[in-house]
């Protein structure tokens, strides 16, 4: 799995969660994870989470640390498992800063307030995940926690640590799958 941190701010609107967005915009083909900072403003007509649409809960923030993962060999169920693993890795990386983080499914909380958003979906050719962590508290429709609250002032360093850990885990799973002998009954 390839990884890149995009060193320019990108406004995330939901349209970025589409097949080959990474390839078309950053010339990285294949299974990949990218990260970037930027404002988030996902209107209801771009929402992938139908529950959020029904509950009229759009997503917005003045600044988030965004991750998009695209895989070409996963079912949607497998991608949801990868999403949960990814969110657990984020939790572990944040806890290295001495912070107590709570994970509920694919959501992270700090001091009882929501810290992240995450969704997994399927396209015609790939499966995709968008996960984002609040960098600041401003611009969200609910009271949230943020990296600022934790005193984490270098989100790009955190992003690279998270992507490195995730890619290492994916490679480790691949190796574990390839190194075993099949059994016959």
The rounded percent of the chain whose pLDDT value lies above 70 is 100
Sheet holding 59-71, edge to edge: 2-5, 32-42, 59-71, 127-134, 116-122
d(CA 123, CA 8): 26
The predicted pLDDT at position 147 comes to 98
Chosen CATH of 2-178 out of 3.40.50.1100, 3.30.930.10, 1.10.3720.10, 3.40.50.2000: 3.30.930.10
Is a pLDDT exceeding 90 seen at residue 185?
A: no
Residue 104 burial (10 A CB sphere; 0-12, 13-18, 19+): exposed
Name the residue ranges covered by the structural domains of the chain. Answer: 2-178
The per-residue pLDDT for range 112-129, each reduced to its tens digit, is 999 999 999 999 999 999
The per-residue pLDDT for range 148-179, each reduced to its tens digit, is 999 999 999 999 999 999 999 999 999 999 99
Neighbours of 79 (CB within 10 A): 22
The per-residue pLDDT for range 17-34, each reduced to its tens digit, is 999 999 999 999 999 999
């Amino acid at each position: 799995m390839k990884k890149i941190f995009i060193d320019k701010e990108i406004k995330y609107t939901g349209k970025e969660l589409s097949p080959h967005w990474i390839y078309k915009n950053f010339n990285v083909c294949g299974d990949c994870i990218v990260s970037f900072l930027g404002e988030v403003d996902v209107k209801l007509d771009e929402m992938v989470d139908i529950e959020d649409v029904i509950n009229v809960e759009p997503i917005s923030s003045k600044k988030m640390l965004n991750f998009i993962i695209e895989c070409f060999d996963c079912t949607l169920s497998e991608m949801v498992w990868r999403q949960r693993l990814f969110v657990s890795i984020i939790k572990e990386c944040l806890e290295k800063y001495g912070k107590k983080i709570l994970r509920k499914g694919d959501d992270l909380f700090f001091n009882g307030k929501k810290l992240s958003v995450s969704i997994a979906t399927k396209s015609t050719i790939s499966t995709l995940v968008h996960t984002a962590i609040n960098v600041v508290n401003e611009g969200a429709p609910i009271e949230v926690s943020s990296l600022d609250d934790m005193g984490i002032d270098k989100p790009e360093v955190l992003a690279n640590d998270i992507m490195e850990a995730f890619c290492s885990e994916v490679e480790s799973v691949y190796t574990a799958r390839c190194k075993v002998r099949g059994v016959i009954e």
